[in-house]
Chains A and B, each alone.
Chain A
Amino acid sequence: MIKVEQITKVFGKNPVLKNISTTIHQGEVVAIIGPSGSGKSTFLRCLNLLEKPTEGKIYIKDQEITNPKVNILEVRKHIGMVFQQFNLFPHMTVLENVTYAPQKVKKLAKGEVEKNAKDLLAKVGLSDKVDSYPSQLSGGQKQRVAIARALAMEPEIMLFDEPTSALDPEMVKEVLDVIKDLAETGMTMVIVTHEMNFAKEVADRVIFIDDGVILEDAEPHQFFNEPKSERAKDFLSKLL
């Protein structure tokens, strides 16, 4: 589904990703873990080309998206993304946030899009907030709207960039529950997270990135119980 071949990303003179390669299969849920500044968010953002790799190739469903001739917008239609800071459109209601892209990008009829959006909002438990504005919602509610907004495009891959890091502790669970439900539907997902228990529970694979390099790529129980690298051992020992 996703094949990453030797990508490098350099900001100015600072290499953030160094020669990273990996493959993510259809239906896989991959958690990306690592210390702050390790490059894990940059790696995620390369997958939908919000950051363009300085070198290397990325294939999505056998199409090389790093090829400059590829229409990036077309590729992004199939890849949903959820951000740490939600990034909802503040001047639109919840419903408008969810319906805007399917209407504008996929050119679907308004009635159909709204029905689908209401179904999605019901699934994330926000049926009563359809006409609210983002400023009237709690952090957890905003993030659930953001997930519904991404799902409304019916993506084949979902990317989550620290989806719970900006939330109050008591709101983390409601968002993780939604992501967990989504994982069970067989969606291909890549999640950058600091929630180790969540990664343990939901992920099929854990990728540990440090200083721009993949140090570990293992099943969760193996990674959490018997990490191979000293760096991962050190990292895990500092967590609660």
Chain B
Amino acid sequence: MNLDFSQLGPYIPFLLQGIWITLKFVFVSILIGLILGTLLALCKITRHSILTWFANAYTSIFRGTPLILQLMIIFYAIPQLTGYDIPTFLAAILAFGLNSAAYVSEIIRAGIMAVDKGQVEAAEALGIPYRPMMLNIILPQAVKNILPALMNEFITLTKESAVVSTIGYLDLMRRAQIIGAQLYRNFEPLLVAGLIYWVMVVILTKLGSIVERRLRASD
């Protein structure tokens, strides 16, 4: 067994560019998941049974099937059905965003349910309409409770993002594989890629605890 990182040298810029590519689509996916997940969570707690049914069905489907299958369906099935040749980036953010929304909606729903009922009553008694009540009073308290669970979801998404290499999206993982194929050495590029994923997650965790600390200012 011999490790030789020296041959990796010329490929390092190619690999590092993958960081930005991965981050870009992870960031957009998190954003989609967060917005859609919040809307779904609100659907789950309304009295409108159709909305609740829809949100529950959505969650059931996207949590109940493999992410890689969802990605494949979006990337391969959409062109087959519509003739629209979907770009890998769009397919990636759709699959990850839609999938993450299912998980995020459950996290946020739990967070909202955990906020004291008296908060809604106090807001209602003051004549505060639904939307500002949710945005300014209920959700900020919910977010504080669920931040660790949300961070967990973001970390999972960041790591699982490597799955997009299967549709040829040139993310960090895909680049490591390409370099491995060219060098006939897989261990070194995969090891470096693994290190980079780990550092990204560590930074994300750090950011999470900073936000958490700031939200605790009122305790």
Residues of chain A touching chain B, judged by Cβ–Cβ distance below 8 Å, are: 48, 50, 73-77, 79-81, 83, 85, 87-93, 100-101, 104-105, 133-135, 149-150, 153
Whether A73 touches B127, Cβ cut-off 8 Å, given contacts A91-B141, A91-B144, A104-B136, is: yes
Q: Is the CB of B127 within 8 A of A105?
A: yes
How far apart sit A75 and B125, CA to CA, in the bound complex (Å)? 10
CB<8 Å pairs between A and B, sample of 30:
A50-B124, A50-B125, A73-B124, A73-B127, A75-B127, A76-B124, A76-B127, A77-B126, A79-B125, A80-B125, A81-B122, A83-B121, A83-B125, A85-B118, A87-B116, A87-B119, A87-B122, A90-B141, A91-B144, A91-B215, A93-B218, A100-B136, A101-B128, A104-B132, A104-B136, A105-B128, A105-B129, A133-B218, A149-B126, A150-B125
Q: Is the CB of A135 within 8 A of B218?
A: yes
Q: How many residues of B contact A (CB 8 A)?
A: 21
- Distance between A150 CB and nearest chain B CB, rounded to angstroms: 7
Contact partner, B127, options A87, A88, A153, Cβ 8 Å: A153
A87 to chain B: which residues have CB within 8 Å?
116, 118-119, 121-122
Whether A101 touches B127, Cβ cut-off 8 Å, given contacts A90-B218, A133-B218, A135-B219, is: yes
Q: Is the CB of A101 within 8 A of B118?
A: no
B79 to chain A: which residues have CB within 8 Å?
none
Query: Which has the most chain B C-beta neighbours within 10 Å: A73, A75, A90, A105?
Result: A90
A134 to chain B: which residues have CB within 8 Å?
218
How far apart sit A130 and B128, CA to CA, in the bound complex (Å)? 22
Q: Is the CB of A76 within 8 A of B122?
A: no
A75 to chain B: which residues have CB within 8 Å?
127
B127 to chain A: which residues have CB within 8 Å?
73-77, 101, 105, 153
Question: Nearest residue in B to A45 (C-beta to C-beta)?
Answer: B121
- Distance between B2 CB and nearest chain A CB, rounded to angstroms: 57
Provide the B207-219 mask, 1 if CB < 8 A to any CB of A, else 0. 0000000010111
Question: CB of B140 within 8 A of chain A?
Answer: yes
- Distance between A165 CB and nearest chain B CB, rounded to angstroms: 14
A93 to chain B: which residues have CB within 8 Å?
218
Provide the B108-141 mask, 1 if CB < 8 A to any CB of A, else 0. 0000000010110110111111001000110011
Name 17 extra pairs, CB < 8 A, besides A73-B127, A91-B140, A100-B137: A76-B124, A76-B126, A76-B127, A77-B127, A80-B125, A83-B121, A88-B122, A91-B141, A91-B215, A92-B218, A101-B126, A101-B127, A105-B128, A105-B129, A135-B219, A150-B126, A153-B126
How far apart sit A77 and B128, CA to CA, in the bound complex (Å)? 8
Question: Nearest residue in A to B126 (C-beta to C-beta)?
Answer: A101
Provide the B6-19 mask, 1 if CB < 8 A to any CB of A, else 0. 00000000000000
A105 to chain B: which residues have CB within 8 Å?
126-129
- Distance between B174 CB and nearest chain A CB, rounded to angstroms: 42
- Distance between B166 CB and nearest chain A CB, rounded to angstroms: 42
Whether A89 touches B126, Cβ cut-off 8 Å, given contacts A104-B136, A135-B218, is: no
B126 to chain A: which residues have CB within 8 Å?
76-77, 100-101, 105, 149-150, 153
B215 to chain A: which residues have CB within 8 Å?
91
How far apart sit A87 and B219, CA to CA, in the bound complex (Å)? 15
Q: Is the CB of A48 within 8 A of B125?
A: yes
What 6 pairs between A and B have smallest CB-CB spacing? Answer: A87-B122, A87-B118, A81-B125, A101-B126, A77-B127, A76-B127
Contact partner, B137, options A80, A89, A149, A150, Cβ 8 Å: A89
Whether A76 touches B119, Cβ cut-off 8 Å, given contacts A91-B140, A135-B219, is: no
How far apart sit A91 and B141, CA to CA, in the bound complex (Å)? 7
